[in-house]
Amino acid sequence: MAEKKHVILTGDRPTGKLHIGHYVGSLKNRVALQNTGKYDTYIMIADQQALTDNARDPEKIRRSLHEVSLDYLAVGIDPQKSTIFVQSQIPALSELTMHYLNLVTVSRLKRNPTVKTEIQQKKFGESVPAGFLIYPVSQAADITAFKADTVPVGDDQEPMLEQTREIVRTFNRIYDQEILVEPEGVFPPKGEGRIPGLDGNAKMSKSLGNAIYLSDDADTIQKKVMSMYTDPTHIKVSDPGHVEGNTVFTYLDIFDPDKDQVAKLKEQYQAGGLGDVKIKRYLNDVLQAELKPIRERRKRYAANIDYVDQVLKEGSARANEVANQTLKEVRDAIGINYFG
């Protein structure tokens, strides 16, 4: 039997329920990889990372821990196939982060494109929490603790992976041992890495109020779809419409398996004679079919929260064993296991 690869996924901070952007951008990919049977899959709820910009509201993180766990289970992540664990319950990750910080300069962290973008989005200005600035190093610890060679992420996370690879190469060179493993990213299919918000904004997020959540009921989904941004120049049904930048068609491209039907709708819309209400109703049917089974599974798990806690407890115990072994190897290489 071929040796299994290790996979760790670090993309989800517990700051609220997950939306369809997360589903398309990473969750579907994780389930597909898990179900191949070719990988040892570790899926982390990054509560410590979430605290880097929510330290004054820890209750938000604690409350969201179950929300993210329920979303994971609802989309099909299987605790029998994947190790789901909580970042803060793995002490080795904090120590690995400390060792790696000695291998990275502040200027390099500030140049990280993903960090720069998020600092701007969060409007930190000069008041960037130190923990937030160094979270690429924390992510490197998360990945290398499990010697992950494959990391499913969104397109915007490639700079974070490159930072991890730099740390791996630097550590292995300085201590002259091939202990840490360089990870490669697995990215969503082209065009599915990020979907726009309901309002046409390039980013779907809770803070912008422009998201459809995996837990939304049917009526909520319908209301959100009917409010979606389309083509502001398409005033009358008879007017020719634009599909580029039209959020409804963007969603249909992603979620509707009937690509021929989508092509026909685009042609009709561009020629004139197809109203926004009709295509929104069609999209609503598509999304309801996709999300109904997820929502129903989520309700079943929510009714047995003790089981969810047990999944997290057992997953964190398994993750601890693996991370502690890597930490021992790192400490041995540095030479700080003074007393055996």
Cβ–Cβ < 8 Å for 230, 244: no
CA atoms of 292 and 24, how far apart (whole Å): 16
71 closest CA partner among 291, 294, 220: 294
Q: Which two tokens stand for residue 55?
A: 């330290």
Residues tagged active-site: 122, 203, 206
Judge whether 129 is annotated as a binding position: no
CA distances to 3, 33, 35, 189 from 39, rounded to whole Å, are 9, 7, 9, 20
Judge whether 199 is annotated as a binding position: no
Q: Which residues contact 8 (CB under 8 A, 6 or more apart)?
A: 41, 42, 43, 44, 142, 143, 145, 146, 148, 151
Answer left, alpha or beta for residue 254, where phi above 0 means left and psi between -120 and 50 means alpha.
alpha
Judge whether 13 is annotated as a binding position: yes
**What phi, psi does 124 have (nearest 5°)?**
-70, -30
Judge whether 21 is annotated as a binding position: yes
Judge whether 206 is annotated as a binding position: yes
Q: Which residues contact 59 (CB under 8 A, 6 or more apart)?
A: none
Residue position matching structure tokens 């289970």: 73
- Kindly state the DSSP code that residue 155 receives in the 8-state scheme: G
Q: Residue 246: how many CA atoms within 13 Å on its side-chain side?
A: 23
Radius of gyration of the chain (CA): 22
Judge whether 14 is annotated as a binding position: yes
Judge whether 200 is annotated as a binding position: no
Instruction: Determine the number of helices (DSSP H) and then strands (DSSP E) in the chain.
Output: 15, 5
Judge whether 205 is annotated as a binding position: yes
Judge whether 154 is annotated as a binding position: yes
Judge whether 235 is annotated as a binding position: no
Judge whether 142 is annotated as a binding position: yes
Cβ–Cβ < 8 Å for 197, 204: yes
Judge whether 160 is annotated as a binding position: no
SS3 (DSSP) at 64: helix
Residue position matching structure tokens 């398996």: 257
Judge whether 256 is annotated as a binding position: no
Judge whether 36 is annotated as a binding position: no
Q: Residue type at 21?
A: G
CA atoms of 63 and 310, how far apart (whole Å): 17
Query: Would you list which residues are annotated within the binding site for ATP?
Result: 13-15, 21-22, 154-156, 195, 203-207
Q: Which residue positions form the known binding site?
A: 13-15, 21-22, 142, 154-156, 195, 203-207
Per the annotation, binding residues for L-tryptophan are 142
